[in-house]
Structure 1
Amino acid sequence: MTATTAAADNRMTVRQVEFAYPATMRGHWNPGKPEFSHIVNAGSLAMPYLEPYLIKTMRAARPLVRDATLQADLDSYIRQEATHYKQHRVFNDELKARGYRAIEAIEARLAREYGELESTRSLEFNLAYAEGFESMALAVGEMLIEDREYLFGNSESGVASLVLWHFVEEIEHKNVAFDVFEHVHGNYFRRVHGLLYAITHIFLLTRGNYQALLKEDGLWRNWRSRVTLLLLIGRIFRKLTPKLLRILVPGYNPRQVGDPPWASLWVKLFARDRSALRLDTRRLDAAEPIPLAAPPPAGTP
């Protein structure tokens, strides 16, 4: 346990943003990568259950936090995470509207899993899980941004923007769960256990979710789709594993991880122009985010 905390980074901004999805959007919002579409869909379905669990965990820890700066960071973290799960709930409702019957069972399992963690596990365990998730989210965010053209190129802009913006804000609050855990229960072995448990738990839940969605689409038993999925997962883990391994190093601190320049540029661009939230997914190879141009007014030649 640490008595004091580093000064606030003044990094976090709580933004009220909305993402729009066209009526023509399909569950395979990246037509060229239906397998990746459902991996992301599977993760999105978890957010209205995972993130309230994180919020409740942080609220339970707040009375134990004696540092005013960390209290302020914790409060901003909670507000940011609240916007995230609400944004994902809107997208998840869009998936339901596309007729995916598997979603009802998926959501029931997620509610049960995170309800049990909240009600049966100690605050120490839940804080370690929260820190493990946030450290993993930092690594995933870096990976998605680095590989954005391959994963999101030519996909539906609303979904790509939702996912990438979510992880930009995960990067923005990367240190908060770590700081709270260290302040309240700081211990290397507890931290590593929380990381390994969170990674395993989330990956198994996500696998079950995307498997159910792929089955409903008839892709799970298609050998070409299965090979594509395995190659995609191999690519993701090849890029993600080094970023996860650094978390295991004693003395790890998320502040040691620099922010991706692309993410920082997008935040600055959005601060000047809110329409910059919607990305042009045909131009994700650019070094900086390119907003999707607004369509010309009706009747414009």
Structure 2
Amino acid sequence: MKVRQPGFDFASIRPHWAPVREFAQSYNAFSTVPAHIEPYLVKVMMRVKDELGEEHQALRENIEIFNKQEVQHCKQHVAFNKMLYKLGYAGMQDLEKPYRDDYASFLANRSLRFNVAYCEGFEAMGSAAGQVFFEELEDYLEGADQEAVDLWKWHLAEEFEHREVCFQAYKALFGSGPFAYFYRVWAFIFAVKHIGTHTARVAAYLNGVDRESMTPEERERSIERQKTLKAKISKASRKRLLKVLSPFYNPGKMIPSPGMAALLARFG
């Protein structure tokens, strides 16, 4: 693990940065997640670090790197999202506010166990999303704007790189017995539903804006492309995410996707 500071320039990126615009809008919707979840992750893991004893010094050091990586993810996606607001999708911000407020509520009203387990659930989603992006979506990435592709590959490769930090933090604080296992699985399912509901709303808004200027025939084709994309990503994600439900799940044993190491080497 290491901290990287890529110098992305989003000034010339189009909202439809991939040939299949519904694919681009799907990931544009996902881009609202790191803008708000990453600051939350950092705050939770700072609390974790304060709770860990000296016997967990290595984990404490990894949390430092983890937090710095997440700050970079937030910074880059906030810049990307501002480009989307300026290019006709300012309504995204109305959908982001309740999502952002959820994290403030979690920090104020939920237990540390819940917050750490939720973070681990998101990180499990992130590592699976990285595998899907690197291994399953070549057809959608062909001909896409390189800056946007690099943003997602860098981000998701780092998500995979630090995939076990929250898992180890949860284990260190709350153990690995039956209750810890079932609570982790429950929080994972909660996180999947919570994040998935938000991104679906944003994607619906983005595609809705696009479809306002389409003919009925174009709109039907757009809806069909979105259904095909959703089915492909759901199938590719499901077979990876089901592993998270196992009592023997250990993200540290997962093997990086081909191309992840080379991509990260480009950014230092």
Q: Which TM-score applies when normalising by structure 1?
A: 0.82
1:1-301 paired onto structure 2 within 5 Å: 12-23=1-12, 25-30=13-18, 32-66=19-53, 67-186=56-175, 187-218=180-211, 222-271=219-268
Percent identity of paired positions between Structure 1 and Structure 2 = 32
- Of 166-175 and 212-221, more deviation after overlay is shown by 212-221
Structure 1's unaligned 5+ residue stretches are 1-11, 272-301
- Please tell me whether the aligned partners of residues 66 and 165 of structure 2 are also in contact (alpha carbons under 8 angstroms): yes
Q: Cα deviations across residues 216-266 of structure 1 (Å, max 9, x unaligned)?
A: 122698222111111111011111111001111112110121111310122
Contact 1:144 1:151 (C-alpha < 8 Å) held by counterparts: no
SS in 2 for 1:99: helix
Q: State the 1:65 CA deviation.
A: 1.2
- Cα deviation for residue 169 of structure 1 reads 0.5
Cα offset for 1:270?
4.0
- 3-state secondary structure, aligned to 2:144: coil
CA distance in 1, matches of 2:247, 2:100: 34
Structure 2 unaligned segments of length 5 or more: list them.
none
Cα displacement string for residues 114-158 of structure 1 (whole angstroms, at most 9, x for unaligned residues):
222222211110100000100111111001100242232111111
Contact 2:121 2:191 in 1 (8 A): yes
Shift of 1:185: 1.5
Shift of 1:107: 2.3
Kept in 1, the 8 Å contact 2:121–2:184? The answer is: yes
**How much does 1:267 deviate?**
2.4
The structure where helix makes up a greater share of residues is 2
Q: 1:78-130, CA deviations, whole angstroms, 9 ceiling, x for partnerless residues?
A: 01100110010111111112121312212222222222222221111010000
Larger radius of gyration: 1
Residue 31 of structure 2 aligns to a residue in which SS?
helix
How many residue pairs end up in the alignment? 258
- The answer to whether the 8 Å contact 2:85/2:91 transfers is no
Q: Report if the CA contact (8 A) 2:10-2:79 is conserved.
A: no
Q: Equivalents in 2 of 1:125, 1:92: separation in Å?
A: 29
SS of the equivalent of 1:260 reads coil
Cα distance in 2 for residues equivalent to 1:27 and 1:269 = 25
Q: Would you say the 8 A contact 1:14–1:76 is kept in 2?
A: yes
Residue in 2 that maps onto 1:7 = none
Q: CA RMSD in A?
A: 1.5
TM-score, normalization by structure 2? 0.92
Taking the aligned partners of 2:86 and 2:157, their CA distance within structure 1 comes to: 28
Shift of 1:15: 1.0
